[in-house]
Amino acid sequence: MTKPVRKSKGKEVSPISEGAKLVDQYFDHVGEAFLRHAPEIDPEKLKDWRPKLFSFTRLNPWYGGLVGVHRKRIGVGKDKLVWLEIGQENSPALLLMHGFAAAKEHWLPLLPFFAGQFRILIPDLPGWGESGFNPDRNYGLEDQTERLHDWLTEIGVHKVNVVGNSMGGALAGLLAARFPEMVTSLVLMDALGLPGTEETDFIREVLRGKNRLVPRAPMDVIKLTDLVFHNRALAASAAFFSATELIHRRDVNSFLFQEMLSRRPDYTKATFEDISAPTLVMWGKQDDVLHISCAYEFERLIKRAEMCLFDGVGHLPMIETPYPCAQAIKEFVLRNL
C-alpha cells in the first residue's frame, strides 16, 4: 500500500506526517466511539432554541467598570460575532479563546494583570455566548478556524498573539498552523487536539457516549464543575453561577460537541507540528478533562515549544490561578514580539 501524500497548491509535499496521523487517529478514536453512542438531537428543538444569557450577562456591569473594556459586535459572512476589547489599536494584539461550554467572560480574571500592554480581543466563539448560533451552519474546527481568520481580517488585525483553552486551544493551534504569517506567538492552555499516553476518566466516559460537559440537570452541573476545577470551593460557586444557562443550552451544546467531533480537522493541511510560531504549552497538572500527558505530546511535536505547568490546578488555569497564569502569558508574549 502506498503512503498518502499531503498536497498544497497542486504539488506533492510529503507523506502524511506523524502529527497529522495523531490528529486523525485522535478523532477516529474519540470521535467515532462517542458518535456511535451519542443521543439523537431533535432538529426542531435546535431551530426553536433562543439564547437566554443568564449567568454571564450578570458580569456586564463588572467588566463595564474596568477601564477601557468595550463590548463589540460584527457580522462575518452569515455569522454574528461578539467580543470584548481593551487597549490601544497600536498595541500588540492578544487574542484569548475560550473552550467548550464556556464564554468570553472566562478570561475576565486575567484582565487586571494585562492592563495597558496589549490590545486584548476576547470573542464569544461562533455558536457560543452572545455570538450567533445557527443549526444550519457547520461548527467543526475547520469552519471555526476560517471564521476566526475572517473576523480578524475584517477588524484589521493582521498580527496577533493567540491564547486558547481546551477547544479554543485546538482552534488557536490550527490558526497558527494554517496562517503562520498572522500568528506571532501561541499559548496552548490545556488544549484539545492530540492524544496523550494516558486517558482521563472523562475521555473514557466519552468513548462510551457519556459527556459531562453537557449537563441536563442541576446535579449534572455540579459534576461538570467538579470535573473542570481542582479547587472544590471554586467548583461549587461556579455550579451555582452557571447552572441555569448551561441547562438551557443543553441541546445546542450537545449539537456543538457532535459537530466538533464529527467534522474533524483536514489532516492533509497544516496541523500542529507545522506550527512555526514560538509556543507555550500551559497545563494544569490536575486536569481531569485532558490528561497532562497531552501537554508533552504538544511540546514534542511543535518545534519551538516550551512548557509551563501549574500544580493544584485543573482544566481552567485562567480562573483557578489567574495571576501566575497571566504573568506566564505576559512574559512569554513580550519575549517573543
pLDDT tens by residue, 89-145: 999 999 999 999 999 999 999 999 997 899 999 999 999 999 989 999 999 999 999
What is the C-alpha separation between 18 and 308, in angstroms, rounded? Answer: 24
pLDDT tens digits for range 40-99: 899 999 999 988 765 555 555 555 556 688 999 999 888 899 999 999 999 999 999 999
CA dihedral (14, 166, 25, 252) positive or negative? negative
- Residue at grid coordinates 493567540: 162
Please tell me whether residue 168 adopts helix, strand or coil conformation.
helix
Reply yes or no on whether the pLDDT at 244 is more than 60.
yes
Reply yes or no on whether the pLDDT at 10 is more than 50.
no
Please say whether the beta carbons of 160 and 179 come within 8 A: no
Least-confidence region, from 73-82, 215-224, 298-307: 73-82
Phi, psi dihedral angles at 165 (to 5 degrees): -110, 130
What is the C-alpha separation between 256 and 133, in angstroms, rounded? Answer: 10
Please say whether the beta carbons of 266 and 138 come within 8 A: no
For the beta carbon of residue 185, count every other beta carbon within 10 angstroms: 23
- Give the mean model confidence (pLDDT) for residues 10-33: 72
Least-confidence region, from 12-26, 78-92, 140-154: 12-26
Reply yes or no on whether the pLDDT at 332 is more than 50.
yes
Least-confidence region, from 4-18, 110-124, 220-234: 4-18
3.40.190.10, 1.10.3720.10, 3.40.50.1820, 3.60.40.10: which CATH number matches 16-335?
3.40.50.1820
pLDDT for residue 55: 57
Amino acid at residue number 315: H
What is the C-alpha separation between 317 and 310, in angstroms, rounded? Answer: 8
pLDDT for residue 165: 99
At 101, list the grid cell. 461550554
Reply yes or no on whether the pLDDT at 303 is more than 90.
yes
- Give the mean model confidence (pLDDT) for residues 255-261: 95
- Give the mean model confidence (pLDDT) for residues 265-282: 91
pLDDT for residue 4: 36
pLDDT for residue 1: 33
Please say whether the beta carbons of 22 and 28 come within 8 A: no
Amino acid at residue number 99: G
Reply yes or no on whether the pLDDT at 2 is more than 60.
no
Please say whether the beta carbons of 225 and 235 come within 8 A: yes
pLDDT for residue 8: 35
- Give the DSSP H/E element, type plus range, for residue 151: helix 141-154
**In this predicted model, which residue has the larger pLDDT, 309 or 132?**
309
Least-confidence region, from 28-32, 197-201, 288-292: 28-32
Strand partners, 79: 76
pLDDT for residue 64: 52
What is the C-alpha separation between 204 and 289, in angstroms, rounded? Answer: 10
